[in-house]
Amino acid sequence: MSIKLLGTKIGMTQIFTDDGICIPVTVLKVGPCMITQIKTINSDGYNAVQIGYAQVSSHLLTNPELGHLNKSNAPALKYLYEHRTNYSDKFFLGQILTIDTIKVGDRVNIQGNSIGKGFSGYQKRHNFSRGPMSHGCKNHRQPGSIGAGTTPGRVFPGKKMAGRLGNRTITIKNLLVVNINTEYNLMLVKGSVPGKPGTILSINNK
């Protein structure tokens, strides 16, 4: 029985198997995380465990945040994450959660924010095809018609148009754990994960 851990994306590299096969992997720094609060049905109306990650200088946090962490004798932690579980009684305040709960060969789900790409057009955002490129055509990368005139006389909500691309929560499932370094809290997973190097990730051991 485990809960989600917080980690940081370090970057991507590649490793070679004994058969000479090249595998693209992402390097993650997972934990250590500290349990800062335990919620129960009696006290909060539901069961959950709150964990903290990434120790920082105390002057970077507000007094209410520091007061909350002092209840569990926790240091100044930058990120807090709440995980709902029916086994909150199995944990205790101040407990340290490390990468030891994950083994090589396990499958994990990793969630994080994708890279933000700013305001993008129709072709890049929705894979629209471009217009004719012949002489006289003025519709190369335009959207074309976006709705009828008289009926309904408006643009339907959800119409695919230009706008912000990226910077949304993405979950990649069933990533294979290739290698683990418990000394430095590092983990290699096969494939890519959301975000750029330094992104905070949530790792769920299935």
Kindly state whether residue 149 falls inside one of the protein's structural domains: no
C-alpha–C-alpha distance, residues 32 and 43, integer Å: 27
Residue 77: give the domain boundaries: 5-116+169-205
Per-residue pLDDT of 135-186, as tens digits, reads 998 888 888 888 888 888 899 999 999 999 999 999 999 999 999 998 899 9
Kindly state whether residue 173 falls inside one of the protein's structural domains: yes
- Dihedral (C-alpha) 199, 98, 57, 80: value to the nearest 10 degrees? 60
Count the domains in the chain: 2
Residues 88 and 174 in one domain: yes
Residues 110 and 134 in one domain: no
What pLDDT does residue 88 have?
77
C-alpha–C-alpha distance, residues 75 and 79, integer Å: 12
Specify the CATH number for the domain of residue 173.
Answer: 2.40.30.10
Residues 104 and 73 in one domain: yes
CB burial readout 29-39, b (16+ within 10 A) else e? bbbebbbbbbb
Residues 112 and 36 in one domain: yes
Residues 109 and 127 in one domain: no
Name the one residue in this structure whose structure tokens are 């595998």.
23
What pLDDT does residue 194 have?
93
Residues 123 and 111 in one domain: no
Residues 175 and 188 in one domain: yes
What pLDDT does residue 92 have?
87
What pLDDT does residue 111 have?
94
pTM over cut 0.85 = no
Residues 38 and 69 in one domain: yes
Residues of the chain with pLDDT under 50: 1
What pLDDT does residue 4 have?
87
Joined tokens for residue 46:
């539901």
Residues 88 and 27 in one domain: yes
